[in-house]
Amino acid sequence: MKANEYKILCDCIERAVEYGYNRAFKHTDKPTRTEINNAMANAILNEICEYFSFEGDNHDETYNQL
């Protein structure tokens, strides 16, 4: 059996976009575009890293720069 990586990745992104958008509004009713984008990007990376691992790539350092 082999997992459909593309489908898993799409599901991760779909869930993360919704979560990140909602998260941007957690502490304010009017987040800036940058705050929304950052919350969504962080949620997407968190979700992807939950299901995928990256060999030889130091993604933790890149992720922390967002």
Helices 5-24 and 33-51, interaxial angle, to 10°?
Answer: 140
Does residue 58 form part of some domain? Answer: yes
Q: 4-56: per-residue pLDDT in tens?
A: 999 999 999 999 999 999 999 999 999 999 999 999 999 999 999 988 888 87
Total domains present in the chain:
1
Let me know if residue 46 belongs to a domain.
yes
Q: Look at residue 35 and tell me if it is in a domain.
A: yes
Does 1 fall in a domain? no
Residue ranges making up the domain that contains 57: 18-64
Q: What's the pTM value of the predicted model, to 2 decimals?
A: 0.74
The verdict on residue 57 lying in a domain is yes
Per-residue pLDDT reduced to its tens digit, 50-61 = 888 888 766 555
pLDDT at 56: 72
The pLDDT, as a whole number, for residue 53 is 86
List, as one string, the DSSP characters of 4-66: -HHHHHHHHHHHHHHHHHHHHTSS-SS--HHHHHHHHHHHHHHHHHHH---TT--HHHHHHT-
In a domain, 12, yes or no: no
CA–CA separation, 21 and 53 (whole Å): 24
CA distances from 21 to 38, 50, 66 (A): 9, 19, 16
